[in-house]
A and B are shown apart, each in its own frame.
Chain A
C-alpha cells in the first residue's frame, strides 16, 4: 500500500508537469499578448515602446527561458505579478479560492445528498410513476445548462421577491452566508445531482439483482436495511467515480454561474485574466485547478479501497 501511494504521488507530479507544459504552450499559441492588447486599445503603436514593455514583462525572452523562469518561481512560492493589477499573483488568487471552494463544496454536497437518495428511491420503485417522474426531473437536470438555470432562478427571484441575491463578501450571519452560496450552488449542482441520481439508480438496479440481496431478505432484514445497508454500500462505487469526475467538471460550470450571480471567485477571474492574456494569473490558476483535480482523483481511488475490501492497491 505504501509503495503504491509513493508511486501514485510520483505519477501525480509527472501529470502536473505535463499540464504545466501544455498550459504554458497553449497560452502563447493564442494570438496576441497583453502588450498587443494594450497598444491596440491605444490605437497608436510605437514599436520601440512596445518592445520596451515586452522586455520589461519578460515576454521577449525565448519561450523555454520563460517557462523555466515560471516553474523556478513556482517552486519557491513566487507566482509572479499580475500584468493587469500589477499586484503579486498570489495576493490576487488566494482570497478568491475560499469563495469558489465554498460554492463547489456546497454544489457537490447538494448533488450527493439529493442525487444518491433519489437514485435509490427510483431504483427501488423501478417502473412506478415516482420512478418516471424522478427520471424526467433528472433528464431535465442533464439538459438544462447551468447558466440558463441560473438566469431563470434570478428572474424568478426578482418576480417573486422583487429582489435577487447579491454577493456580500462578509456575510453577518451563518444563514446569510448560506443563502448567498446555496442558490448558485444549487444552480450549478443540479446537473451533477441529476447525473448522480441516474448513476445511483442504474448501479442500484444492478446490485438489487444480486444473490446476496436475496440472502439479506432471507435473513429477515427489512426493506430499508436491504436497500440502504446491503445494496447501497455495494452500489456506491461508480457513484463515487462520477462525483469525482463531476468535481473536476464543476469548474466549467462555475465560470458561467459565477458570472451570472456576480460572484468574485476564481472561475470568473480565470476568464477575465484570459481575456487580458494575464499569463501569470492564468498559468497559476490552471495549475491550481489541476492540482485539485489530481488530488480529488487520488482521494476517490483511496475511497474505493476503503469501501470495497476486494480492492487492494499495490499487493
Chain B
C-alpha cells in the first residue's frame, strides 16, 4: 500500500523476489511481491498450497533454505532497516527478537529433547542479558500469558507431554518472549482441532493487540481472514493478485481467483433445502511454477479469460480506492457487482 509509509509502518516489503533452483529448472516462488504491515495491524496472506505464502514469510525471516532457494531481488525493511543487507550475525539479532514466527505444526516445531521452559529461555537469553533464574521466571510468565494452566509445572515438561493446542500456546509464548515488532503466523491453526483453532486464533489476536505487534497471518482459510485481519493480500503462483481491506475484499472480490476461493467456501444448506448442493470448485490445477503460461497464470482456469489474458500479464491496478487487483477484467467485474 503506497500511502502507509508513515512512522508506524513496521514492515515494508518491496518487489521481493525469491527463486528456487531445482533439477527441473528455476522457479519463482515469490515474484515481485510488495506489502507493508503497520504496528498493531493484521495482514492476512491468502492462497492455496504452493502459491508462495510461506516462502514470502521465510524470505522476511531470511530462512529460505539456500540451496536451493535464494532471495534475488527487492527489499525487506523492518523498522527502517533493510534486512536483506544485514550480515548473518546482525540478522540473528533480529530473528526471535524483532520478528518472530509461529509455524504450522506444533507437534514437530518444538525440540523433543528440551524442556518447554528451556526452549523459551533460549529465545530470551539469545537477545537479553538476563540471569538464567530471571529468564526462567520470564518463561513461566510467558506461559501464564498464553493461558497455560500450571505454568511452573508445564515449563518443566517436555513437548510430548503437552497436547497440540498447548504446544502451539508454548510456541506463541516463545515467539512473543522478546516482544517482537512483527509476528508471522504461518497457518498457526491448520494442524489443530476446530475447537482449539478458535481459541488459538483469539489468543494470538488478543496478545497482538495488547502488545501492539504487527501480525502477518498466513492462511488458506477465508473464515480466519474475515475474523482477524484488517487487510488481505491474495497470492497465486508466486504473485500478488489482489490486495484490499477485509471489508472491500469480502464485499467485492475483484480477481476471478479470489471470487473462486470465496465461492468454494462450503455453506451449511438450510434444513428445508430440497436438493443437495454441489460444492463449488475452481476447475483445473495450480500451474507448475517451472512452466508458467506467458500471460496471467490463472488464465487457464479462469472462466472470464480472454485472449489478452493468455498473452500479457495484467498489472496490479488500483481498481477501486484502496483495492488493487491484477486482472484485465477487474474493471468490468467492479462495475458488474
A interface residues (Cβ-Cβ under 8 A, vs B): 210-212, 214-222, 230, 233-234, 307-310
Contact = CB atoms under 8 A, between A and B. Distances in A.
B103 A214 contact: yes
Contacts of B96: 218-221
B174 interface: yes
26 contacts: A210-B108, A211-B108, A211-B109, A212-B109, A212-B111, A212-B112, A214-B63, A214-B103, A214-B109, A215-B171, A216-B111, A216-B122, A217-B95, A218-B95, A218-B96, A218-B101, A219-B100, A219-B122, A219-B123, A219-B126, A220-B92, A220-B97, A220-B123, A221-B122, A233-B114, A307-B113
A310 B158 contact: yes
B211 to A, nearest CB: 18
The 4 closest A-B pairs by CB, nearest first: A219-B96, A220-B96, A220-B95, A211-B108
A307 B171 CA distance: 23
Contacts of A234: 111-113
B153 to A, nearest CB: 15
A293 to B, nearest CB: 27
Interface in B77-113: 92-97, 100-101, 103, 105, 108-113
Interface of B: 61, 63, 92-97, 100-101, 103, 105, 108-114, 122-123, 126-127, 158, 160, 171, 174
B126 A211 contact: no
Given A215-B110, A219-B100, 16 more contacts: A211-B108, A211-B109, A214-B63, A215-B174, A216-B122, A218-B101, A219-B96, A220-B126, A220-B127, A221-B92, A221-B96, A230-B111, A230-B114, A233-B113, A234-B113, A308-B113
Given A210-B108, A310-B158, A310-B160, A220 B113 contact: no
A220 B110 contact: no
A77 B76 CA distance: 76
A71 to B, nearest CB: 43
Contacts of B127: 220
Contacts of B92: 220-222
Nearest to A233: B113
B111 A220 contact: no
Contacts of A230: 111, 114
Contacts of A218: 61, 63, 95-96, 100-101, 103
A212 B110 contact: yes
B86 to A, nearest CB: 12
Contact of A215 (B97, B103, B113, B158): B103
Contacts of A211: 103, 105, 108-109
A219 B111 contact: no
Contacts of B109: 211-212, 214-215
A217 B58 CA distance: 11
Nearest to B100: A218
B95 A219 contact: yes
A233 B126 CA distance: 19
Nearest to A216: B111
Nearest to B99: A218
A146 B75 CA distance: 57
A216 B171 CA distance: 11
B160 A309 contact: yes
B291 to A, nearest CB: 27
Nearest to A234: B113
B103 A219 contact: no
A72 B112 CA distance: 49
A230 B63 CA distance: 17
Contacts of B122: 216, 219, 221
B99 to A, nearest CB: 9
B112 A309 contact: yes
Nearest to A219: B96
Residue of B94, B96, B158 with most partner-chain A CB within 10 A: B96
Contacts of B105: 211
B7 to A, nearest CB: 26
A70 B160 CA distance: 50
Contacts of B171: 215
A306 to B, nearest CB: 10
